[in-house]
Amino acid sequence: MKDLTLICAILLVILSLKYSTVEAKIRHYRWEVKYEFKSPDCYRKLVITINGKSPGPTIRAQQGDTIVIDLKNGLLTENVAIHWHGIRQIGTPWADGTEGVTQCPVLPGDTFRYKFVVDRAGTYLYHAHYGMQREAGLYGSIQVALPDGENEPFVYDYDRSVILNDWYHRSTYEQAAGLSSVPFVWVGDPQSLLIEGRGRFNCSRTPDVASGVCNMTNPECSPYVFTVVPGKTYRLRIGSLTALAALSFEIEGHNMTVVEADGHYVEPFVVKNLYVYSGETYSVLVTANQDPTRNYWVVTKMVSRNNTTPNGFGIFNYYPNHPRRSPPTVPPSGPWWNDVDARVNQSLAIKSHRDYVHPVPQTSDRVIILLNTQNRINGSVKWSINNVSFTLPHTPYLVSLKHDLLHTFEQTPPPDVINGYEAYDINIAPPNVNATSSNSLYRLKFNTTVDIILQNANTLNVNNSETHPWHLHGHDFWVVGYGDGKFNASEDPKRYNLVNPIMKNTVPVHPYGWTALRFVADNPGVWAFHCHIESHFYMGMGVVFEEGIEKVTKLPSSIMGCGDTRRFIKP
């Protein structure tokens, strides 16, 4: 009888395993990217669409599912690559979609298959990772649900995704050409802010209204409407894919409870304004508990830089009021752009949910201090990390390293700390000596624990330090500390949060401050780590990590065909 029970138990386990195997679905998408004229903020311009849309289709999957995307490049002369932001690509480093790091770009007319497992529930993003194409509109949302029978540590009635973005009227070509020009031409402030692909540029500001290029009656730029039923609670998944702007987001008269960040459960806390940096995602809960006879403003605002970009507006629409009915109030003006403390405080408030703490290693094997500085190199303005301004190689590192094409990038690794770090004054413009451009990378010992200190500093302008959201590919990291001023390597680590730090894939370093991260180099592959501001990465603000390259299995030939991998073309 005891044996029978055991047999039954084993059978049940086998059945349940089989059950979950059956459950993991393959979700197959066929996408075609194209240039099309769109007017997301009432101003008509060329946008890169996926199957006719920008933002592209939302990927909805369940934890453990395999996603297959057959991406057809329908552009005329331009290549493409898409990154699955927040998906760690465990076992599939070649599917990370980072041109120059994990793959060659996809040529016009070609179809590239991305195939990877979404191994953890949460809110993620996808976007172009080639040139500055993300800014051209090539982005979207990924929602990964828990397995059947598992529950989130919070409850809600409905689930919605919204991507915040900033928007430029000039083409990404023009922006990039300006950034590469001598003299340097800065991209400037965005013309508008988009909420789920909808903004509103004031056409009376432009002569293009006469030609019809700017048209405020275009339905494509009618405001984003978030319709709610009184009394219900909504999970709102907010992601930012701004090219430049740090944002605040608020819903007039409603509190938001932060419950998820970058796919990890947060010990809940309440905010009126949520600050969101490019590359971050949050889930907030909002209950429709205000006067239901009216609508409310949804407001997003550019912060951290003094700017000319008008706030972006949407409508929080209480059913059954008309969704286009304007709220009777003046929209909230949002927080002061320069309120650094409020933003730092939000960063500090984000801790792991008590029931979902991933234990953090108590020590690390290596500390890399990444000091960011603005520099001039050959007359161009660049961003440098430890005096090295990053450039992408034209042969993807993943292939170079696996196939011993080591001549394709510089072999001297960048420094773990800048020479003369102790004496470096982060409060003044950089002395600007010895900054160079390089495509070298950091090689991490497999399975070691690495601390990264993002150290902010003054830009080339007096009394100016900016917020930089850094995004790590292939991993989540624990955010073990934030600090003001210059990191003190002997004292500051003593105050690290090694109890309940949140895990994230994107984190800001605040003006004149530092942010300390810890991660385990346990994902064989080559992974970019960079400022998620499109122009900053373009200007060199990034690094690349290699780990366990010898454990990477046979690379698919689909990622090859550019740079030195052309030697593999053998007809």
Q: Is residue 37 part of the contact set for its own copies (CB under 8 A)?
A: yes
Task: Write phi, then psi, for 400 (nearest 5 degrees).
Answer: -55, -45
- Beta-bridge partners for 394: none
In the bound state with its own copies, the residue whose beta carbon lies nearer, of 55 and 563, is 563
The structure tokens 């800065």 sit at 186
Task: Write phi, then psi, for 269 (nearest 5 degrees).
Answer: -145, 155
Task: Write phi, then psi, for 348 (nearest 5 degrees).
Answer: -65, -30
For its own copies, the binding residue among 178, 292, 323, 335 (CB under 8 A) is 178
Reference 560, options 201, 206, 105, 166; nearest CA is: 105
In the bound state with its own copies, the residue whose beta carbon lies nearer, of 37 and 158, is 37
Are 397 and 409 contacting, i.e. CB atoms less than 8 angstroms apart?
Answer: yes
Q: Is residue 35 part of the contact set for its own copies (CB under 8 A)?
A: yes
The SS3 call for residue 550 is helix
Q: Is residue 239 part of the contact set for its own copies (CB under 8 A)?
A: no
Q: What is the 3-state secondary structure (H, E, C) of 467-487?
A: CEEEEECCCCEEEEEEEECCC
Residue 390 tokens read as 């990053």
483/228 Cα distance (integer angstroms): 39
Are 484 and 544 contacting, i.e. CB atoms less than 8 angstroms apart?
Answer: no
Q: Is residue 109 part of the contact set for its own copies (CB under 8 A)?
A: yes
Amino acid at site 229 = V
- Beta-bridge partners for 233: 287
Output b/e per residue, 353-381; b: 16+ Cβ within 10 A.
beeebeebeeebeebbbbbbbbbeeeebb
In the bound state with its own copies, the residue whose beta carbon lies nearer, of 438 and 464, is 438
Residue 81 tokens read as 């690559």
For its own copies, the binding residue among 23, 32, 70, 110 (CB under 8 A) is 110
Reference 559, options 129, 102, 116, 107; nearest CA is: 102
Q: How far is the CB of 52 from its own copies (least distance, A)?
A: 12
In the bound state with its own copies, the residue whose beta carbon lies nearer, of 131 and 310, is 131
In the bound state with its own copies, the residue whose beta carbon lies nearer, of 109 and 320, is 109
In the bound state with its own copies, the residue whose beta carbon lies nearer, of 180 and 434, is 180
Q: How far is the CB of 79 from its own copies (least distance, A)?
A: 6
The size of the interface with its own copies (CB under 8 A), counted in residues, is: 43
Q: Is residue 570 part of the contact set for its own copies (CB under 8 A)?
A: yes
Q: How far is the CB of 570 from its own copies (least distance, A)?
A: 5
Contacts of 44 (CB under 8 A, 6+ apart): 37, 38, 212, 213, 214, 215, 218
54/475 Cα distance (integer angstroms): 27
In the bound state with its own copies, the residue whose beta carbon lies nearer, of 205 and 495, is 205
Q: Is residue 566 part of the contact set for its own copies (CB under 8 A)?
A: yes
For its own copies, the binding residue among 20, 233, 380, 558 (CB under 8 A) is 558
Residue 148 tokens read as 């059947």
In the bound state with its own copies, the residue whose beta carbon lies nearer, of 49 and 386, is 49
Q: How far is the CB of 502 from its own copies (least distance, A)?
A: 35
Q: Is residue 189 part of the contact set for its own copies (CB under 8 A)?
A: no
Residue 67 tokens read as 């996603």
Q: Is residue 29 part of the contact set for its own copies (CB under 8 A)?
A: no
- 205 DSSP 8-state letter: G
Q: Is residue 555 part of the contact set for its own copies (CB under 8 A)?
A: yes
Q: How far is the CB of 40 from its own copies (least distance, A)?
A: 15
Q: Is residue 569 part of the contact set for its own copies (CB under 8 A)?
A: yes
In the bound state with its own copies, the residue whose beta carbon lies nearer, of 208 and 416, is 208
Q: Is residue 292 part of the contact set for its own copies (CB under 8 A)?
A: no
Angle at 323 between CA 318 and CA 329, to 5 degrees: 70
Q: Which residues 195-214 are close enough to bind its own copies by CB under 8 A?
A: 207
Q: Which residues 42-61 are close enough to bind its own copies by CB under 8 A?
A: 46
In the bound state with its own copies, the residue whose beta carbon lies nearer, of 79 and 449, is 79
Q: Is residue 378 part of the contact set for its own copies (CB under 8 A)?
A: no
Q: Is residue 399 part of the contact set for its own copies (CB under 8 A)?
A: yes
In the bound state with its own copies, the residue whose beta carbon lies nearer, of 23 and 78, is 78
Cis peptide before 414 (omega within 30 of 0): no
The structure tokens 């493409």 sit at 80
545/553 Cα distance (integer angstroms): 18
Provide the mask over 66-105, with x wherever binding to its own copies is found by CB under 8 A and - wherever it is not: ----------xxxxx-----------------------xx
Q: Which residues 118-157 are close enough to bind its own copies by CB under 8 A?
A: 130-133
The structure tokens 């995602």 sit at 281
In the bound state with its own copies, the residue whose beta carbon lies nearer, of 316 and 383, is 383
Q: How far is the CB of 78 from its own copies (least distance, A)?
A: 5
52/197 Cα distance (integer angstroms): 13
Residues binding its own copies (CB under 8 A): 35-37, 46, 76-80, 104-105, 107-110, 130-133, 171, 173-174, 176-178, 181, 207, 394, 399, 403, 555, 557-558, 560-563, 565-566, 568-571
